[in-house]
Structure 1
Amino acid sequence: MNEAVEALAINPDGHYVDATYGRGGHSRLILQNLSAQGRLTAFDKDPQAVADAHQLAASDGRFAIRHQGFCHLGELGHASADGVLLDLGVSSPQIDDPERGFSFRRDGPLDMRMDTTRGQSVAQWLETAEISTLSEVIREYGEERFAQPIAKAIDRRRQERGPFRTTLELAEVVAGAVKTREPGKDPATRTFQAFRIFINAELEELQQALEASLQVLRPGGQLVVISFHSLEDRMVKQFMARHSRAVVDRRVPFAEPAPMALRHVRRVKPSEAEVQGNARSRSAVMRVAERTEAPA
């Protein structure tokens, strides 16, 4: 948290965006660094997070919350923000609440929606998803080498005992289909990640938010992204690399290259002290880049 807010290089009078409010840790620290003229806008799809954020908004007029995913970032307008922070993935309160269905260690409804007010739950999707679709989702979003056996085991369980209803029902079937796993890693980890990413369209939304950040950030504004698995981090890395170099239009060889949109790209890993205090931070990667030219 401290490194992320520091990376924003906060101008006390500026406007900042916490695109994933969660339970407000980043937002509260950003507000501590803002003057009376500064502003902070936060996004979150989770109704519980939004309820928490409304309490903060009621006590601090510099803060506003939007019950939306960060794919709506572009609605803030061109060059309207001095910094954008995206803390990706599922939050600890979501994992720790069995009723949300994210945990494969605690039994609860098989939901996994970030926004429980709309869309299909994982249980509903599993009722009709074909084996080929299941296998593709598990392989692409979970990077799971046993995707096909898991998909077949899920289908066999549906045929024999009907629809899945709880997280432990799914975790048990997955564990039976996974032949080997890294020491200390639950067999259901990759499949649960895959279904969560798919049901919430997380990667599609991330791509939209990254592109929108180029329009929203003012020149000199900071883009800070914290990722927790390789699919997210690879997308962020490639995005920053693509926009941190001048682009030559090969169709017009004598034209001036299009200027790069980002610079000062850097990568930060959590310190040993942070990992010891928060084991879930061990897989985190933070990437930071600065906006250059004014948005088109």
Structure 2
Amino acid sequence: MTESNKIYHVPVMLAECLEGLNINPDGVYVDVTFGGGGHSRAIFEQLSPKGKLVVFDQDPDAKNNAWEAPNFHFVAANFAFLQNHLRLLGIKEVDGILADLGVSSHQFDEEDRGFSIRGNAPLDMRMNQNGELTAERIVNEYEEGELIRIFRNYGELKNARNVAQTIVSKRESNSIKTTQDLMTALEKCAPKFKDHKFFAQVFQAIRIEVNQEMDVLERFLTQTANVLKPGGRLVVMSYHSLEDRLVKNYMKRGNLEGEIEKDFFGNVLKPFDEVVRHPIVPTEEECERNSRARSAKLRIALRKEQHVKK
């Protein structure tokens, strides 16, 4: 890995992800969140010339970290379209899928992207720079009820209504155009001594709405059982409870709601068995090296033999 790739994104729980995938050198693997290529490069190094790696990333910046090889394919698309793009490549089944959800270090650190509460940047937050919806549009154009919904559902803010009302009131006199504008507008809403967490939750909520992250994750998860071979591995790393809840439900119960469905004989209907019952978390040492690892949770599941493809 080049020095620039290390700066772009430090791969979290790299060894644990590789172990979770249980790589077959001749197998076909997919990294749906390529980013800086840290996880992908490590997977690729374990493959033989017969093996194949397909990576997805909708951020044009990520393609700069790709490399040339006959058995490496970069797909410039959102991983919500996983199955379609694999079919276009002539791939019906794969041996393993890795998803490292959330925002890359590069996206956080690129000031003009507007993901970080540090500094002052345009309210953008698009992972795909060609997307039409921006954070600025949400903050300045969404109705109060819509703002309450995203702050309550995606930011898990207890004072979601107050935050939404404050934004609507502030934007009547002046448009809220930058990250600093937004934070200044919401200063009085921030709990004392917990302002950092509050603003992180506000930004998370807006970012999830901009990129439709929960919808994308739901669409991705429901496709994984259709493209993984029996015995194939699904390895997903999440960074907040909303993502982790969906991943947990799907791996444990076979649906996004976490409801138990059984057949006539009382067997639970689900496409996966969990490899680990509880999520794997990074070591304290890794968290000290890379602060962005601190909230990571890694879940691993094995594709069962009996599953009717849709």
Tell me if both proteins adopt one fold, taking TM over 0.5 as the criterion: yes
Give, in angstroms, the shift of residue 256 of structure 1. 7.3
Structure 1 distance, partners of 2:308, 2:187, is 49
Q: Secondary structure at the match of 1:142?
A: coil
1:36 pairs with 34, 49, 67, which one?
49
Structure 2 distance, partners of 1:261, 1:218, is 11
The aligned residue for residue 155 of structure 1 is 168
Q: Percent identity between the aligned chains?
A: 38
Deviation above 6 Å: which 4+ runs of structure 1? none
The aligned residue for residue 301 of structure 2 is 289
With 78-87 and 25-34 compared, the bigger mean Cα shift is at 78-87
1:248 lines up with 2:259 in the alignment: no
Structure 2 distance, partners of 1:156, 1:264, is 48
Alignment of 1:1-296 (within 5 A): 1-53=14-66, 56=67, 58=68, 60-75=69-84, 76-77=86-87, 79-161=92-174, 163-180=175-192, 182=194, 185-243=196-254, 247-249=261-263, 253=264, 257=267, 260-266=270-276, 267-293=279-305, 295-296=308-309
Q: CA RMSD in A?
A: 2.0
Give, in angstroms, the shift of residue 265 of structure 1. 3.3
With 28-37 and 268-277 compared, the bigger mean Cα shift is at 268-277
Give, in angstroms, the shift of residue 234 of structure 1. 0.7
Check whether the contact 2:97–2:235 (CA below 8 A) recurs between aligned residues.
Answer: yes
Give the length in aligned residue pairs.
286
**Superposition TM-score, scaled by structure 1 size:** 0.91
Give, in angstroms, the shift of residue 247 of structure 1. 4.0
Give, in angstroms, the shift of residue 187 of structure 1. 3.0
Q: Secondary structure at the match of 1:123?
A: helix
Q: Secondary structure at the match of 1:41?
A: strand
Give, in angstroms, the shift of residue 180 of structure 1. 3.7
Structure 2 distance, partners of 1:180, 1:248, is 48
Check whether the contact 2:251–2:274 (CA below 8 A) recurs between aligned residues.
Answer: no
Amino acid of the structure 2 residue aligned with 1:236: V
Amino acid of the structure 1 residue aligned with 2:74: I
Alpha-carbon spacing, 1:153–1:211, altered in 2? closer, same or farther (3 Å):
same
Give, in angstroms, the shift of residue 248 of structure 1. 2.2
Structure 2 distance, partners of 1:19, 1:105, is 28
Q: Secondary structure at the match of 2:116?
A: coil
Structure 2 distance, partners of 1:285, 1:258, is 25
Q: Secondary structure at the match of 1:127?
A: helix
**Superposition TM-score, scaled by structure 2 size:** 0.87
Amino acid of the structure 1 residue aligned with 2:234: L
